[in-house]
Amino acid sequence: MTVAIDVQGVSKRFRLYHQKYTSLKERVVHGGHVPFEEFWALEDVSAEITAGQTVGILGRNGSGKSTLLKCIAGILQPTGGQVVVRGQLAAMLELGAGFQPELSGRDNIYLNGSLLGLSTKEIDRRFDEIVAFAELEQFIDNQVKYYSSGMYVRLGFSVAVSVEPDVLLVDEVLAVGDERFQQKCMDRIQQFQRDGRTIVVVSHSPDLMRDICDTVLVLDRGRKVTMAPAGEAIRIFRERLIESGFAAAPAAPADEAEQVGGAAPVEITTRRRVVELLSASASYARQDERNYIETGEPIDFRVDFDVSTPVSGVQFKITLLNERGGIVFSSTSSGAVSGMPLDVGRGCATFIFDSMVLLDGRFSVTVEARDPGGVVLDILDPGCDFEVMNPGRAVGIVGLPMRVEVLPPGSGELPRAAATAR
């Protein structure tokens, strides 16, 4: 396989000026000395991207991913090292960059197209297609300043993808337009993939990466962390985030949750605490060496409680919440377990999940104890939390078990479709 993009030890230094002196007077006054701090946005990053691959660059804000993309695009020159790009390159860093509001859509297609490296002949040939893709047939001769932001962005995307580059660079621009147009954009990206073009995508979103990328390059503070298949790279990315304390806030890691969770029970004032929930914790395999589980692995949540008056019919309720506080799952103990009489003293209840089918994310666990009438006796909110990493390619909320069977034409009698299908 040939290498489409060869990033050879690229470093990029930025100078952060404490104060920007852009006039001669200011520079003279400060003796030609402008105080600045050096900041390496990229440090010795190397990567080989094979032709036809779709590669994601993943990293949190300030990790240098956009800088790397701009170096590949040739917008920034690296301070050290070099990038060799084979074939025609188009960069979608900002849709509609360089549109002239005073000019018509038609003029802007020609101007923007040639800015992106298309020849006039090529633009002539693709003009109708560009207009049709942007759905602007009626307005193409109107001045762009009268366009809505949606129209503007659609035209920008349409011109950008018409370049038909060998190498396409995309910087988080896919989140534009309405849902339908977004789908159209994704389709076009997938079309590019099938055509065997090389694509480099920069994004914050691990889900997008997992969806479209073969390989993901993870950057952290300007350094390459890893370049690996998407699932693994995303896992490493999440681990990095947790290590550097970004994703961990505000919830504490699972192994510390016992103290944290136990220390902050919600005050139940209406009745004396018959059952007091003391703490909740998660347990799973290899807990001492990692702080996450992979999708599909078993996990248990244990809640310790203290009974001060003998009681029966206590129900335990568990609720799993996502990072935005949305309920992912909630269920109450029932049947034999809930009917059990509880004597005075300490006990524990364990919620056992044989297979945690949730995909990526950090989830918090809330535990409640209720009397048979449904009145809350005590609550731990949050009780503990846990993290799931998804090693596969599925995207969404849950990893439903699924397999696909395809019968190619000519493989004999097709099974009858379900009766409801026409």
Q: Is the dihedral angle over the CA atoms 283, 289, 295, 297 positive or is it negative?
A: negative
x/- contact string, 167-206, with other proteins (CB under 8 A)? --------------------x--xx---xxx---------
* Binding of other proteins by 251 (CB under 8 A): no
Is 227 a binding residue for other proteins by CB under 8 A? The answer is no
Only segment of 125-133, 258-266, 282-290, 354-362 that touches other proteins (CB under 8 A): 125-133
Count of residues that interact with other proteins, criterion CB under 8 A = 70
Identity of the residue, 201 or 314, whose beta carbon is nearer to other proteins in the bound complex:
201
211 binding other proteins? (CB under 8 A): no
Name which of 192 and 316 has its Cβ closer to other proteins.
192
Residue 92 structure tokens: 């979608």
CA distances, 97 to each of 94, 112, 247 (Å): 6, 8, 33
CB of residue 3 vs other proteins: minimum separation in angstroms? 8
3-state secondary structure of 134: helix
Q: Comparing C-alpha atoms, which of 235, 173, 206 is closest to residue 60?
A: 206
Whole-number minimum distance, CB 92 to other proteins, in Å?
9
Report angle CA 128, 92, 108 to the nearest 5 degrees. Answer: 40
* Beta carbon nearer to other proteins, 36 or 246: 36
Q: Examine residue 407 and tell whether it contacts other proteins (CB under 8 A).
A: yes
List all residues 6 or more positions away from 381 whose beta carbon is below 8 Å from its beta carbon. 264, 266, 366
Both tokens of 4, joined, read 């489409």
Cis peptide before 206 (omega within 30 of 0): no
Show the binding pattern over residues 359-398: x = contacts other proteins (CB under 8 A), - = does not.
Answer: ----------------------------------------
Within 170-205, where are the H helices?
179-194
CA distance 261 to 259: 6
Is 87 among the residues that bind other proteins (CB under 8 A)?
Answer: yes
CA distance 35 to 50: 42
**418 contacts: CB under 8 Å, gap ≥ 6:** none
Is residue 149 close enough to count as binding other proteins by CB under 8 A?
no
Residues 29-58 touching other proteins, rule: CB under 8 A, are: 51
Binding to other proteins by residue 140, rule CB under 8 A?
no
Which among 202, 292, 286 is positioned nearest to 240, based on CA atoms?
Answer: 292
107 binds other proteins (CB under 8 A): yes
Whose CA is closest to 298, among 280, 315, 286? 286
Q: Which of residues 56-75 bind other proteins (CB under 8 A)?
A: 70-75
Position 80 contacts other proteins (CB under 8 A):
yes
Q: State phi, psi for 277 to the nearest 5 degrees.
A: -85, 125
Q: Which residues bind other proteins (CB under 8 A)?
A: 2, 4, 14, 22-25, 27, 51, 70-89, 91, 93-94, 97-98, 100, 102-103, 107, 110-111, 114-117, 119-120, 125-126, 129, 161-162, 164, 166, 187, 190-191, 195-197, 402-407, 415-418, 421
